[in-house]
Amino acid sequence: MRRSEGYSLLNRFSHIYIEQKALSYPVTDRILKRFPRSVKVVVQHYKDVFNRTHQDFRRQKDSPKLILAVKQEPFLYQGPEICEDFGNKNFYYASCVLNCLYDCDYCYLQGLYASANIVIFVNIEDFFEDVQKRIEYENLYLCISYDTDLLALEGVVPYASKWIEFAGGKQNFNIELRTRSANYGAVKRFTPAEQVVLAWSLSPNEVARRYEKLAPPLETRLKAAKTAVEDGWKVRLCFEPILKIQNWQEIYSAFLKNVFEIIPADRIFDANIGLFRMNREQFKRISRFRTDTDVFAYSMVCSGEGIMSYAEGERMKDFMHRQLIRYLPGEKIYS
Amino acid sequence: MIYVVTALPWEARPVIERYNLKRDDNCKFFPMFKGSNMCLIVSGIGKMASAIAAAYLLSGGNAGQDAAIVNIGVCGAVKQQYPIGTPVLIHKITDHETGRDYYSDILLEHPFAEGSVETHNQIVRREYIDSGQSRVCTDFVDMEASGFFQAASRFLSPHQIYVIKIIGDYLEVEEYDKNKITGLIARAMDDIHGFLEHVERYCRHDEPVFSDAEQQQLEDIKKRLRLTVTQGHQLAKLAAKYKLRTGKPLPDFSDIIVDEVKVKAEGRKAFEEIRRILAAE
Ligand code: SF4
């Protein structure tokens, strides 16, 4: 229970909504045992709760609930243009969880979904089966922590571990597990796998503190990434979204210096730079209700593909590239 | 503002007394009672009646982000899990006739038991269930909740809509005792009152972006420059972004806007200048 001005909020996951079909899955069982005090509500279809009209995303973030559901096909989606494919062919993503524990001001999920509640699809084995069928005849590069932060949720549902176990030793298959968490401890026990890239999204402390609510501070993310590098994992550093803040040049150059003082640059698998950008519709929707942050208050332009980004985006990207190339060879930098 | 819908006068009585509500004789369609921060309607029995009452309360246009609505009344309990008189906060409502489900967002701590209710057009009696004539999958049954919720959710978010039921019987009642119902609800009023206070605070508007003076300043600019509706929206949007970006109050535009403009072209010129200033920082 959290107290605020004259009211007390229920703890997150005070309620767990369970699709009738999801009741018989072991993952459901495990989650219900993990939260024995939560109120359980059986629902016919997860969308009856998740897609209700007029939900207040911001208020729901005050006390998010869990929704356990069974995903129907498709299990994999083609990676969108707006995301970096790191030179991989057949870039797909899997959303075995929708929504996130963290509450970043700039997060596109608040424009994508009607609800801030977290949906966990309990039929993870069906995702694996689909992957298995595909990789028999083609390569697959799969982002598994998409529309969520899977490693942050490992204490709720151990899907990062399951994916790593599944991917290990597979031919034609690579996964990226991207996170803002410092929860490397949850997967440290695994032998580093050739097929797995652990990717950390990093932001200067000035950004993390102000705009990445509930996510751990930069220092702990760096510590986690450093340990993963030392353990022999392929570690990717994602410098995105680059936000326009007061003195952004100084802040971002000091930040990169800080990062590479801690993490040995020569052992980094690769890195990317991405400006803050968003699909126009989502941007419009979010900026209507996010009157508590300046993220959406800067002058933006819309590209021909309907992507909003800073008017001086190219200049910002060039600057970041020039800074990053001081630490990493050009062929390891994607932007 | 808290809006309350009860089906029957004897369900309303404890609320009216607790909040010292006064009958509003201007309302011709329902018995309506008002207090400083509450408005109650006695809808009559049934989900349609409850839906009409909820829509009547909320459709005036005044019920916005800082409003909440609650249906208070008695229900029948399918199982004898809780004693008679227990107040229950409903987290799932099933409409018996359509099979559709509705859900409140329960974000706040509360003193109630929780459960699900199925709304029927007719009274559900124990013998109907025992004989298999009626099948009920929820904890409680009533005759209003689904209509009430469906109507209210046209206007409000699910964290602003609540159904609080007080267990009146175990589906064995032949005749309803008005005084008993009033007594049961009266005994739950301390809990209901505490909860509604929290709801009211939680639903209060977030800090507005503009102060009253700034709001006035923008209205003044629109009027003096004879801005079109679209330009007015653009001005408000730019001004809000300026405040969010800079954290400063709106600049003083008095040297740009001296008098009311005579021709629209003058207004456009001044508006461009204001846009430039607001976009600059
Ligand atoms: S960590 Fe990623 S998914 Fe989670 S809130 Fe932040 S931006 Fe959104």
Q: Is residue A35 part of a domain?
A: no
Domain tally, chain A: 1
For residue B208, what are the contacts with CB-CB under 8 A and spacing of at least 6? B215
In which residue are the tokens 């535009």 written? B253
The order of strands in the sheet holding A66-69 is: A39-43, A15-19, A66-69, A118-121, A97-98
For the domain B2-203, what is the CATH code?
A: 3.40.50.1580
Q: Which two tokens stand for residue B150?
A: 């469906």
Of B279 and B31, the one with more pLDDT: B31
B17's CB contacts (< 8 A; 6+ apart) are B186
**What is residue A4's predicted lDDT score, i.e. its pLDDT?**
64
The residue assigned the tokens 């605070």 is B201
Ligand 1 test: best mutation among A100, A110, A144, most atoms within 8 Å of CB?
A100
> Lowest-confidence range among A176-190, A194-208, B3-17, B213-227?
B213-227
Give the residue from chain A lying closest to B91, CA to CA.
A41
Residue B140, min C-alpha distance to chain A (Å): 14
CA proximity to B190, closest of B15, B2, B6, B1: B15
- The CATH number given to whatever domain includes residue A277 is 3.80.30.30
pTM: predicted TM-score of the whole model, two decimal places: 0.94
* Domains of chain B by residue range: 2-203, 212-280
What would the pLDDT profile of A208-262 be if each residue is shown by its tens digit?
A: 999 999 999 999 999 999 999 999 999 999 999 999 998 999 999 999 999 999 9
For residue A212, give the DSSP letter: E
The number of the ligand 1 atom at minimal distance from the alpha carbon of A109 is 8
Q: Is residue A158 part of a domain?
A: yes
Torsion sign over Cα A105, A109, A115, A120: negative
Inform me whether the C-beta atom of residue B202 falls under 8 Å from chain A C-beta atoms. yes
Going by pLDDT thresholds of 50, 70 and 90, the confidence category of residue B117 is: very high
Low-confidence ranges of chain A (pLDDT < 70): 1-4
Contact at 8 Å (CB) between A81 and A277? no
Is B197 close to A14, i.e. CB distance below 8 A? no
- B38-42 vs B2-6, strand pairing mode: parallel
Provide the domain limits for residue A81: 71-334
pLDDT of A1 reads 45
Residue of higher predicted confidence among B14 and B262: B14
CB < 8 Å & 24+ apart, contacts of B262-270: B264/B226, B266/B225, B267/B224, B267/B225, B267/B226, B267/B227, B268/B225, B270/B225
Q: Is residue A8 part of a domain?
A: no
Q: What share of chain B is helix, strand, coil (3-state, %, to 5)?
A: 40, 20, 40
- Picking from B180, B167, B172, the residue whose alpha carbon sits closest to that of residue B112 is B167
Contact predicate A78/A92, CB 8 Å = yes
Q: How far is CA B192 from CA A106, A328, B55, B255, in A?
A: 38, 62, 22, 55
For residues B123 and B25, is the Cβ–Cβ distance under 8 A? no
Residue identified by tokens 């029927």 is B120
Of A273, A261, A250, A275, nearest in space to A325 by CA: A273
Closest by Cβ to A7, choosing from B198, B206, B240: B198
- A39-48, A283-292, B94-103, B180-189: lowest mean pLDDT where? A283-292
Nearest CA to ligand 1 atom 6: A104
Q: How high is the ipTM of this complex? A: 0.93
Is the model's pLDDT at B259 over the cut of 80? no
Mean pLDDT of chain B: 93
B235-249 pLDDT, tens per residue?
Answer: 999 999 999 989 899
* B48 touches A: beta carbon within 8 Å: no
Q: Is residue A256 in some structural domain?
A: yes
Quick check: B242 contacting A, CB < 8 Å?
A: yes
How wide is the angle at C-alpha A329 spanned by C-alphas A328 and A335, nearest 5°? 80
Model pLDDT, residue B124: 92
